[in-house]
Amino acid sequence: MKWLDKIVNDTLKSNGKWSRKSLTTVTTFIFVLALGTFIVISDKILERPVNIYAITVFQSLLFFLGTLMGITEASKKFTNKQAPVNEE
């Protein structure tokens, strides 16, 4: 279980603290996978089209997830770059 602890620490924690953006990303990703699976399975089982609002929510969550992941990566790039300190 050390590998699972390492994955959690590397992806969900920043400097030893839980990252809200990473937790929101993981939670949204799991929910999007569940909702997408439900839409596909219910479409095959019920043999009729799924409600268009469920598909709209799915697409909105995908857009939110992509935006959140982009913001997280961009903030990592900008916060890691620091101006050189001139000590004289």
- Mean of the per-residue pLDDT values of the chain: 80
In a domain, 18, yes or no: no
In a domain, 11, yes or no: no
| All residues at 6 or more sequence positions from 70 whose CB lies less than 8 Å from its CB, including other chains | none
Strand locations in the chain (E): 13-14, 17-18
Question: What residues contact 75, with CB distance under 8 A and at least 6 apart?
Answer: 21
pLDDT in tens, 39-79: 888 878 887 778 889 889 989 999 998 898 888 778 777 76
pLDDT of residue 60: 93
Domain boundaries, position 50:
33-63
Does a structural domain hold residue 55? yes
What pLDDT digit, counting tens, does each position of 39-49 carry?
888 878 887 77
80, pLDDT greater than 70? no
32 with 25: CB under 8 angstroms? no
Could you tell me if residue 19 is inside a domain?
Answer: no
58 located within any domain: yes
Give the closest residue to 53 by CA, choosing from 33, 39, 67, 32: 39
Whether 53 is covered by a domain: the verdict is: yes
